[in-house]
Structure 1
Amino acid sequence: MPFRLGKDPIRHTLKYLEKGPLVFKERVRVMLVHFNPREKSHAGVKDFLHWYTPQIQYKNPNVQLVAMKDMMPSPFIRLFLDGDEEVIVDAEGKTKEDILSHLTKILGKSQSVLAAEEKEAQIVENKSNFGVGCGRYCICEVPGQVPCPSVVPLPKAWRGKYKNGDMDDD
């Protein structure tokens, strides 16, 4: 399997990507990360990028992620928001978990908002689906469709056992 190749192939699995805890608010457009991979104080940012970037990209497809190496002496994350607004987060000496929790706290959606959006997404599902767990139990509920045979009997010509008037009416 080609997606299993490379360093830490677990990062490429769908199960891992869906467990990402950071879902940005709608106003976040760009996340710019400055770090120097050779510095010890930048190790948390390097690990953050290695482990959480795939999850962030999966959960936030409209957010652009940019990593700038060897350009600044201290690590920081700059987030560009709607309307020329920007937020700068200091990341020096922090672990990857500290950085993730801080970003989740300041610009991430809360669990209650995520739960409400998920519930709304389930309600606004594809109307052509029907069955258990969908908006409609049977296709007969769609206007213009043939009603259920249990409610309104089908015409005898549509039933398989009555062909060319061979059998008596019931």
Structure 2
Amino acid sequence: MPFMKGPAPIRRTIEYLDRNKLVLKDRVKIFSINYNTKGENHEGARQFVFWHLPQLQFKNPNIQITTFKNLTPSPFIQCYLACIFLENGEEVLMDVDFKSKDEIYERVRRIVCKSEETLKAEDKLDNPANFGSKCQKHCICEVPGQLPCPSLVPLPKSWRGKYKFQKPDEL
């Protein structure tokens, strides 16, 4: 299997990608991380990019995520936010110099990610396409354009297997 090759192939499994709690707020439009490939003060940023950036991309498919390597003396994360009232929007700048990947993860989660309560509330929002006992519609017959329930309005005899597949002399 070609996806299991390379360093740490676990990063490419669906279970690993889905386990992340980094769901960025709706206002975040661009997430940018700047770091160097050498230097001990950039180690945390390199590890964050290696372990958490694929998860971040998986959970936020509509957000532009960029990495800039070897362009800065100190590592930092920059987020561009959309603003309704201003044309240029806002920026959030986080210094991650000499921080570990876990410290960077917690800082990003606390500043630009949705809270646990928000994620649970969004998870409970019902999909209008679902129907059943815990959904907005109990039965598919309540959806406009669908046939009514056979318990309320009987189906035509030609649609029922009892009449379709039996011989006429048995009826």
Structure 2 length-normalised TM: 0.80
Q: How does 1:1-170 map to 2 (within 5 A)?
A: 1-82=1-82, 83-120=88-125, 123-126=126-129, 139-142=140-143, 147-149=148-150, 154=155, 158-162=159-163, 166-167=169-170
* Separation in structure 1 between the aligned mates of residue 146 and residue 67 of structure 2, nearest angstrom: 55
* Separation in structure 1 between the aligned mates of residue 144 and residue 73 of structure 2, nearest angstrom: 66
Q: Secondary structure of the residue that 2:104 maps to in structure 1? A: helix
Identity of aligned residues (%): 47
Q: Deviations 1:58-115 (Å, cap 9, x if unpaired)?
A: 1111221111111111111111111431111010110001011011111110000000
* Residue 166 to residue 151, structure 1, CA distance change in 2 (3 Å): farther
* Separation in structure 2 between the aligned mates of residue 166 and residue 144 of structure 1, nearest angstrom: 37
C-alpha displacement of 1:116: 0.7
Q: Secondary structure of the residue that 1:72 maps to in structure 2? A: coil
Give 5+ residue unaligned stretches, structure 1.
none
C-alpha displacement of 1:151: 5.4
C-alpha displacement of 1:152: 5.4
In structure 2, give the amino acid aligned to 1:100.
Y
* Residue 14 to residue 125, structure 1, CA distance change in 2 (3 Å): farther
Range with greater deviation from structure 2 (32-41 or 144-153):
144-153
Q: Secondary structure of the residue that 1:37 maps to in structure 2? A: coil
Q: How many residues align?
A: 164
Q: Secondary structure of the residue that 1:23 maps to in structure 2? A: coil
In structure 2, give the amino acid aligned to 1:166.
D
Range with greater deviation from structure 2 (74-83 or 153-162):
153-162
Q: Could you say which residue in structure 1 is the equivalent of 2:85?
A: none
In structure 2, give the amino acid aligned to 1:10.
I
C-alpha displacement of 1:33: 1.2
* Residue 14 to residue 137, structure 1, CA distance change in 2 (3 Å): same
Range with greater deviation from structure 2 (6-15 or 139-148):
139-148
C-alpha displacement of 1:142: 4.7
* Residue 151 to residue 107, structure 1, CA distance change in 2 (3 Å): same
* Residue 6 to residue 161, structure 1, CA distance change in 2 (3 Å): same
* Separation in structure 2 between the aligned mates of residue 55 and residue 95 of structure 1, nearest angstrom: 17
In structure 2, give the amino acid aligned to 1:61.
P
Give 5+ residue unaligned stretches, structure 2.
83-87
Q: Secondary structure of the residue that 2:169 maps to in structure 1? A: coil
Range with greater deviation from structure 2 (63-72 or 7-16):
63-72
RMSD over aligned CA atoms reads 2.6
